Amino acid sequence: MAKKFEHEIEVKGHLIDSLILTKIFDIIMDLNGEFQVQEFTVGKRKKDESYAKIIIQGKSQQHLNQILEAVYREGATSKIQQQIALKPAPKDMVMPDDFYSTTNNHTEVFYKAKWVKVENMMMDKCVVVKSNRAFCTPIRQVKKGDTIVVGERGIRVTPPERPREGVNLFQFMGSGSSSERPTQHIARKVAQDIYKTKKQGGKIVLVGGPAIVHTGASDSIATLIKFGFIDAVLAGNALAVHDIEYSTLGTSLGMNVRDGTLAIRGHRNHMQAINSVFKAGSISKMVQKRMLTKGIMYECVRKNVPFVLAGSLRDDGPLPDVLTDMTIAQRKYKEVLKDAKMVIMIATMLHSIATGNMLPADVKVIVVDINQPTVTKLMDRGTWQALGIVTDVGAFLPLVTQEIQKLIK
């Protein structure tokens, strides 16, 4: 047999439990490489980490490099550490050809003989190194001359551990999403998780779509905000418009929510709500002028809970509070998401995927939607840590709020 090109890598952590080793072996085999396990120490107790030293063999230096680059992304590191390669950005908003494209996992770069943490971690971005710090940077923020990491060397990725110890919500559900689960029990678990996260001072961000209002769950969300369980709200124009229609006119899509009758000229209520905000000048001015006295947006204003309304192509209006430029909206979303411990995404694929793209992989994400493909799609887009709950928002959220109210007492 021909000469082998080989390289030694090592990897540590909960290798078996968190599937890290499985993924590494998968990659080597998918790319037709070979491997030999040199050393393997398995954590003998639950909390112990495992360690593996593996020699990877390729058919050529290039083949070997390709395999190495792929396994580095999954948490492997070279035994002999090499410094990252850097190249300057040739122009504003242009990365060097061979730029390193980020994952949403915790990442470090080996720079000047030290491991430097990449700040502001998100997926599908590049890494800019500046005065001994490393920043995860979107392409549109790249400036000519920024020194950008290229290739895959000198990079250490740490996939998050799977949450363990006792049956918690995330374990309970498995990795998948299913509608065949005891709904009331799940609502209780979600409530406990919110309550506990908040008690420990964790930041909780809500991402929501208008179906919260259509399905009659807006009172539940307003209550959560009122009681201090939500630290920020990320949404679009529609959630705000429908919330304000419901809060000021009592209707959702023109139907009286109280008794299900059709409101007179109810078809106008949607536009009427939009007009009333323009008339006041903004949502917070509506609250000041006592034109808006309840609901999700009202509680946000009253409790100083920041909200960001990102525009979308399908907006009616949109409201004066809506950020119509996506570059600005993305930046504001990202600011609000900083240091979030838990993100609850409800009935909105657009804002959920957008938010998922901005989150590091170790933030807890709960996605609630009645449509299973929506949940699947979010996970397929890389937010694989998400816990998917396929349920009816209008019935589920009131249960969660009830459970939280029990916990408060």
Instruction: State which of positions 25-84 bind a copy of itself (CB under 8 A).
Output: 25-26, 29-32, 34-37, 40, 42-46, 52, 66, 69-70, 73
The residue within the footprint of a copy of itself, chosen from 118, 126, 287, 386 (CB under 8 A), is 126
Q: Which of 204, 84, 209 is nearest to 148 (CA)?
A: 84
Q: Which residues contact 348 (CB under 8 A, 6 or more apart)?
A: 207, 208, 209, 210, 211, 235, 236, 239
By CB under 8 A, residue 346 contacts a copy of itself: no
- Residue 344 to residue 191: CA distance in whole angstroms: 11
The token duo for 265 is: 């000229």
The token duo for 351 is: 């804002």
- Residue 18 to residue 238: CA distance in whole angstroms: 39
Tell me how far, at minimum, the Cβ of 130 lies from a copy of itself, in Å: 20
By CB under 8 A, residue 183 contacts a copy of itself: yes
**Of 165 and 339, CB closest to a copy of itself:** 165
Tell me, what amino acid is at 4? K
Whether 358 and 382 have beta carbons less than 8 Å apart is answered as: no
268: enclosing H helix or E strand: none
**Of 314 and 406, CB closest to a copy of itself:** 314
By CB under 8 A, residue 261 contacts a copy of itself: yes
Three-state SS at 269: helix
By CB under 8 A, residue 95 contacts a copy of itself: yes
By CB under 8 A, residue 373 contacts a copy of itself: yes
Q: Which residues contact 259 (CB under 8 A, 6 or more apart)?
A: none
The residue within the footprint of a copy of itself, chosen from 79, 114, 133, 185 (CB under 8 A), is 185
With both helix axes pointing from N to C terminus, report the angle between 20-30 and 61-72 in degrees, rounded to the nearest 10.
150
Contacts to a copy of itself from residues 264-283, by CB under 8 A: 264-265, 267-268, 270-272, 274-275, 278-279
Tell me how far, at minimum, the Cβ of 63 lies from a copy of itself, in Å: 9
The residue within the footprint of a copy of itself, chosen from 139, 197, 226, 282 (CB under 8 A), is 139
By CB under 8 A, residue 330 contacts a copy of itself: yes
Tell me how far, at minimum, the Cβ of 225 lies from a copy of itself, in Å: 19
- Residue 291 to residue 251: CA distance in whole angstroms: 16
The residue within the footprint of a copy of itself, chosen from 120, 284, 376, 402 (CB under 8 A), is 376
Tell me how far, at minimum, the Cβ of 120 lies from a copy of itself, in Å: 16
Q: How many angstroms separate the most distant Cα atoms in the chain?
A: 84
Contacts to a copy of itself from residues 282-301, by CB under 8 A: none
By CB under 8 A, residue 101 contacts a copy of itself: yes
Q: Which of 97, 74, 94, 75 is nearest to 85 (CA)?
A: 97
Tell me how far, at minimum, the Cβ of 187 lies from a copy of itself, in Å: 7
Three-state SS at 329: helix
By CB under 8 A, residue 312 contacts a copy of itself: yes
By CB under 8 A, residue 325 contacts a copy of itself: yes
By CB under 8 A, residue 190 contacts a copy of itself: no
Tell me how far, at minimum, the Cβ of 132 lies from a copy of itself, in Å: 25
Distances (CA, A) of 164 to 89, 91, 186, 187, 382: 42, 46, 18, 20, 22
By CB under 8 A, residue 221 contacts a copy of itself: no
- Residue 163 to residue 362: CA distance in whole angstroms: 10
Contacts to a copy of itself from residues 140-179, by CB under 8 A: 140, 152, 164-167, 171-172, 176, 178-179
By CB under 8 A, residue 257 contacts a copy of itself: yes
**Of 302 and 395, CB closest to a copy of itself:** 395
In degrees, rounded to 5, the angle at the alpha carbon of residue 355 between the alpha carbons of residues 271 and 164 is 135
